[in-house]
Amino acid sequence: MPTLKPTEVFFPFKFDYLLSPEGQRFSLLSGGDGRKSQSIDGQITLADADALGVSIQWNGKLRLTGLTLKSGLLESGRKRLEEISRNDFLDASYDEPLEFSEALADALRYQAEQMAVIEVLNAEREVARQAALAGEAEIDMGYISPVRVRYNSRDYEIPRDAELDALIAELKREAEERDAQAKAEREAEEEARRVEKVHRIAEWLAQRGTENQRERFAAGLFPEREALTAIEEDAFARLAGLDRFERITPNEVRETCVDGCRCYYGDDCRVTCKSEDLDTVSAEEWDQIRRIKALLPQVTITPRLHSCVCDSEECDTAKGEGVIERKGIYVKLQYGVFTFVREYAME
């Protein structure tokens, strides 16, 4: 029995393609239907099918009975993260209807152009893979498969293999070691702070605590909160004569509203507050800051403005209705491992 050549075995096949506006006009003038989407039927050989990447099924027929003509140009904005397929290329468009032989010739040419583009992208992906293996690219450890690699400001998704698996396992091991070391360091720092806190409390109790407090501390029954409150009061003792800042309450804001405003009666009124650091202070305000600094040189001071406003449209905030502003002096004091903060009224 003679053996046929791949060019002597034929299959029915169809090509779909698009007509440009000029092509649609040409189609109508030449007796065609003028539709944008066109189809043409014919036959291709086994050699053509191989060149087009169309395989044979178990039943001896082609996996595809037709193709849409796609150019060798990728769609603009393509993210190129995963494998590129022919569907990612732009549709081919024509200015006149095609014969089947013309469609087949273009399909073969476009297939070659697409494969060239894909080979370039695969080569870039391989460069990114090698860079990852050399430690010169960033690997997204959140991805399992495929592996996402960032190289030269671009992302690539690369199928996993033995080398990448080994690299990822090593990177995870190193990350776990760093996490364990960081955790141990945090725990050591926390333990050091705890020991320092106990030492500071014991030191303060020895110098200023009552007998009752020292006895409870020795028995391990002295509340830390009580110690901190006492130490804070002692730390700010020199500022005892200054007035503390009083927070603005919603009711204070509502009291500034005029009769006739719904806030005046407390109905459907919402008061919002905000605080911000001051960029400037007056001469008198600076004198206050200087007095605090003179009493406690080690503190950090921040002048602040607090404002609360009613959301009612009836209140004229320009006239002081539905709004209250109040200034404060925020004082931060570091006492060993303890950080204490207080805010005092700015006169």
Question: What is the C-alpha to C-alpha distance for residues 114 and 119, in angstroms, rounded to an integer?
Answer: 9
pLDDT in single tens digits along all 347 residues of the chain: 578 999 999 999 999 999 999 999 999 999 999 999 999 999 999 999 999 999 999 999 999 999 999 998 887 655 555 567 778 899 999 999 999 999 999 999 999 999 998 888 888 888 998 998 998 988 887 766 788 888 888 888 888 889 988 888 898 899 899 999 999 999 999 998 888 888 888 888 888 888 998 899 889 898 888 888 988 998 899 999 899 999 998 888 878 776 656 565 555 667 889 999 999 999 999 999 999 999 999 999 999 999 998 877 777 777 777 788 999 999 999 887 889 999 999 98
Look up tokens 């406690």; give the residue: 296
pLDDT attached to residue 66? 95
Distance of CA 50 to CAs 47, 54, 60, 167, Å?
A: 5, 6, 14, 38
Query: What are the two backbone dihedrals, phi and then psi, of residue 248, each rounded to the nearest 5 degrees?
Result: -75, 130
Is the pTM value of this prediction over 0.85? no
Question: What is the C-alpha to C-alpha distance for residues 15 and 97, in angstroms, rounded to an integer?
Answer: 12
Q: Would you mind telling me the total number of residues written for the chain in this entry?
A: 347
pLDDT attached to residue 80? 54
| C-alpha torsion 133→136→138→141, nearest 10 | 30
- DSSP states along 39-64: EEEEEEEHHHHHHHTPPB-TTSSBS-
Task: Name residues whose C-beta falls within 8 Å of residue 146's C-beta, 6 or more positions apart in sequence.
Answer: 82, 157, 158, 159, 160
Task: Count the neighbouring beta carbons within 10 Å of the beta carbon of residue 105.
Answer: 12
Question: What is the C-alpha to C-alpha distance for residues 153 and 141, in angstroms, rounded to an integer?
Answer: 17
Question: What is the C-alpha to C-alpha distance for residues 198 and 129, in angstroms, rounded to an integer?
Answer: 54
pLDDT attached to residue 78? 56
pLDDT attached to residue 86? 79
